[in-house]
A = this chain, B = another copy of it.
Amino acid sequence: MLVLFYLILFNFFVIFVKQFMERFTTKDLEELPSRQRAHLINSISGYKSANLIATRSEDGVPNLAIFSSVVHLGSNPALLGFVMRPIGVERHTYDNIKSTLHYTINAITKEMYRDAHHTAAKYKEHESEFTMTSLEESYKDGFQAPYVKQSPIQIGCRWVNEYPIEENGCILIVGAVESIYVVPELLHSDHWAQLDRMDIMTIVGLDGYALPNLEDRLEYAKPNQSQNSILNGSQKD
Residue ranges of A at the interface with B (Cβ–Cβ < 8 Å): 18-26, 29, 32, 34-51, 68-81, 83, 105, 107, 110, 113-114, 117-123, 127, 132, 141, 149, 153-155, 160-161, 163, 165-168, 170, 172, 174, 176-185, 187-188, 190-196, 200-202, 204-224, 226-227, 230, 237
Contact = CB atoms under 8 A, between A and B. Distances in A.
A39 B221 CA distance: 15
Contact of A193 (B73, B105, B204): B204
B179 A23 contact: yes
A44 B182 contact: yes
A23 B180 contact: yes
A194 to B, nearest CB: 7
Contacts of A185: 20
Contacts of A182: 21-22, 24, 44
Highest count of chain B CB atoms <10 Å: which of A21, A105, A220: A21
A80 B45 contact: yes
Contacts of A37: 75-76, 78, 191
Given A120-B221, A209-B217, A77 B168 contact: yes
A162 to B, nearest CB: 10
B74 A132 contact: no
B154 A161 contact: no
A199 B167 CA distance: 33
Contacts of A209: 214-218
A29 B117 contact: no
Nearest to A35: B237
